[in-house]
């Protein structure tokens, strides 16, 4: 059994800091409910904003004070160990947990400078690749030399690059062996705004293509779920900044991407609204609203910073949309409400009741997998076959 290392201590510090923050948030919510009950507010309206008074107020202030002192003590005691212990490496299980945590609280982790926040990076074989010196990673890790065909795969909400491999299968590796692509994988904090991730992804691609060890004949991107929104956002911001990598981009494939949003996030937003109507439930609603900016962007499929607005598919790029439905045939319920369990078919295929907001994927570049769920788009053989057909199409 290996001993503790810097990864363990860093995670412990980040987890302790998050637990302290969560405790303080719960105390705030309970005190607001307590104060509202004291004032005997009506069933509708805003909760009490003033703190509780007297002994009750002293108790709440004491809990907060003790929590902060304990948190600072843990942080201070762990900090010196970071330099004293070996670097250490992560594990797939640890990466999956941290990725899920970033999906739910990622923007908060960044605001509070928490060590659990994921920094965007390109990966190869599960290890970080320096976009400014990519050849070094190939020399270090071995394997096939980089080709002139680059494929970047972008994961979805609460996931990471390792989860592109499911049940021993990987779309990226198949595209490498069958079509000669060099697959790279983006890892990013899915709790940040999609537009923020798109902006950073565009800059990362610009650096990568500039320093790729041979001329890039073709760049292709496959995005699963939220990853497709991040890819569209990168094209949007890359175009605004006149990035050179867009000239190499030939194909953009979306797997179950909620282009027009997901009903689950819209349902969560509606529940927030209902709970805000009563001063007695509003403090609890504040706890539910801590879900990340990235999750909230899924309400409408927002890919820009500063609010939602419609953005068309990038010009001059072959764009493809794959959707899934749990239904056996396209009935109204399976098509518009259920979809793959998370994303309706219309949203995944870029359709909209307002024709001006329809993304307009050509019919031959749309595909539907029946009796298939959202995550199955990552490994089902039918999806693999369609990807091979699309990616070997002449541009």
Q: Residue 189: which pLDDT band, with cuts at 50, 70 and 90?
A: very high
- Do 70 and 15 reside in the same domain of the chain? yes
pLDDT at 16 (0 to 100): 58
Report yes or no on 163 lying in a domain. yes
Burial zone of 360 (CB within 10 Å; 0-12 exposed, 13-18 middle, 19+ buried): exposed
- Do 23 and 64 reside in the same domain of the chain? yes
Q: 178, 268, 265, 253: which is closest to 219 by C-alpha?
A: 253
DSSP state of 162: G
pLDDT at 1 (0 to 100): 41
Report yes or no on 382 lying in a domain. yes
Tell me: pLDDT of 266 over 80. no
Which of 119-133, 237-251, 282-296 has the lowest average pLDDT? 282-296
- Do 61 and 160 reside in the same domain of the chain? no
Q: Residue 21: which pLDDT band, with cuts at 50, 70 and 90?
A: low
- Do 145 and 241 reside in the same domain of the chain? yes
- Do 198 and 334 reside in the same domain of the chain? yes
Report yes or no on 175 lying in a domain. yes
Q: Residue 104: which pLDDT band, with cuts at 50, 70 and 90?
A: confident
3-class SS letters over 266-324:
HHHHHHHHHHHCCCCCHHHHHHHCCCCHHHHHCCCCCCCCCCCCCCCCCCCCEEEEEEE
pLDDT at 106 (0 to 100): 87
Report yes or no on 282 lying in a domain. no
- Do 129 and 93 reside in the same domain of the chain? no
Last residue of a domain, one of 87, 111, 135: 111
pLDDT at 83 (0 to 100): 52
Query: How far is the C-alpha of 153 from the C-alpha of 155, rounded, in Å?
Result: 7
What is the average per-residue pLDDT within 290-319?
91
- Do 103 and 125 reside in the same domain of the chain? no
Report yes or no on 366 lying in a domain. yes
- Do 233 and 211 reside in the same domain of the chain? yes
Alpha helices in 40-147 (DSSP H): 54-78, 81-84, 92-111, 134-141
User: Which DSSP string corresponds to 16-64?
Assistant: HHHHHHHHHHHHHHHHHHHHHHHHT--SSSPPP-SPP-HHHHHHHHHHH
Q: What share of the chain is helix, strand, coil (3-state, %, to 5)?
A: 50, 15, 35
Report yes or no on 274 lying in a domain. no
Q: What is the mean pLDDT of the chain?
A: 80
Query: CA-CA distances (angstroms) from residue 385 to 155, 171, 251?
Result: 20, 10, 16
Q: Residue 82: which pLDDT band, with cuts at 50, 70 and 90?
A: very low
Provide the domain limits for residue 76.
Answer: 6-111
- Do 44 and 148 reside in the same domain of the chain? no
Q: Residue 292: which pLDDT band, with cuts at 50, 70 and 90?
A: confident
Last residue of a domain, one of 111, 141, 166: 111
Last residue of a domain, one of 79, 111, 143: 111
Query: CA-CA distances (angstroms) from residue 166 to 91, 169, 348?
Result: 16, 5, 21
Report yes or no on 305 lying in a domain. yes
The dihedral region occupied by 268, where left means phi > 0, alpha psi between -120 and 50, and beta the remainder, is alpha
Query: CA-CA distances (angstroms) from residue 96 to 91, 119, 158, 313?
Result: 9, 15, 8, 31
pLDDT digits (tens, 9 = 90+) for 211-223: 999 999 999 999 9
pLDDT at 163 (0 to 100): 95
- Do 167 and 35 reside in the same domain of the chain? no
What is the average per-residue pLDDT within 101-118?
86
- Do 128 and 33 reside in the same domain of the chain? no
The number of distinct structural domains making up the chain is 2
Q: What percent of the chain has pLDDT over 90?
A: 52
Query: How far is the C-alpha of 265 from the C-alpha of 292, rounded, in Å?
Result: 11
pLDDT at 239 (0 to 100): 97
Report yes or no on 281 lying in a domain. no
Distance of CA 287 to the CA centre of its chain: 21
Domain containing residue 356: CATH number: 3.40.50.1820
pLDDT at 395 (0 to 100): 79
Strand, coil or helix: 250: strand
- Do 159 and 43 reside in the same domain of the chain? no
pLDDT at 70 (0 to 100): 52
Query: How far is the C-alpha of 383 from the C-alpha of 388, rounded, in Å?
Result: 9
């Amino acid at each position: 059994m290996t001993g503790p290392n810097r990864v363990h201590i860093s995670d412990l510090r980040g987890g302790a800091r998050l637990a302290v923050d969560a405790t303080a948030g719960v105390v705030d919510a309970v005190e607001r409910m307590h104060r509202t009950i004291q004032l005997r507010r009506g069933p509708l309206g805003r909760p009490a904003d003033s703190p509780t008074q007297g002994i009750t107020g002293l108790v709440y202030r004491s809990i907060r004070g003790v929590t902060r002192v304990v948190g600072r003590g843990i942080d201070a005691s762990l900090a010196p160990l970071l330099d004293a212990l070996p670097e250490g490496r992560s594990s797939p299980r640890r990466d999956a947990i941290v990725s899920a945590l970033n999906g739910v609280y990622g923007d908060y982790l960044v605001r509070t400078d928490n060590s659990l926040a994921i920094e965007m990076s390109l990966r190869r074989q599960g290890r970080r690749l320096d976009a400014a010196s990519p050849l070094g990673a190939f020399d270090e890790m071995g394997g096939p030399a980089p080709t002139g065909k680059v494929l970047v795969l972008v994961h979805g909400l609460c996931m990471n690059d390792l989860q592109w491999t499911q049940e021993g299968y990987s779309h990226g590796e198949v595209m490498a062996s069958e079509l000669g692509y060099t697959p790279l994988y983006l890892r990013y904090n899915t709790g940040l705004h999609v537009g923020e991730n798109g902006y950073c992804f565009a800059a990362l691609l610009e650096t990568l293509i500039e320093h790729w060890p041979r001329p890039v004949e073709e760049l292709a991107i496959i995005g699963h779920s939220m990853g497709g929104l991040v890819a569209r956002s990168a094209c949007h911001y890359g175009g605004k900044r006149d990035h050179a990598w867009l000239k190499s981009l030939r194909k953009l494939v979306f797997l179950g991407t909620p282009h027009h949003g997901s009903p689950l996030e819209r349902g969560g937003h509606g529940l927030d609204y209902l709970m805000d109507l009563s001063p007695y439930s509003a403090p609890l609603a504040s706890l539910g609203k801590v879900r990340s900016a990235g999750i909230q962007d899924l309400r409408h499929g927002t890919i820009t910073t500063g609010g939602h607005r419609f953005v068309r598919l990038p010009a001059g790029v072959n764009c493809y949309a794959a959707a899934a439905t749990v239904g056996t045939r396209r009935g109204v319920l399976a098509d518009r409400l259920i979809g793959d369990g998370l994303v309706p078919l219309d949203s995944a295929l870029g359709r909209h009741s307002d024709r001006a907001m329809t993304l307009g994927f050509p019919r031959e570049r749309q595909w539907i997998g029946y009796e298939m769920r959202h995550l199955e788009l990552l490994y089902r053989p039918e999806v693999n076959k369609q990807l091979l057909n699309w990616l070997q199409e002449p541009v």
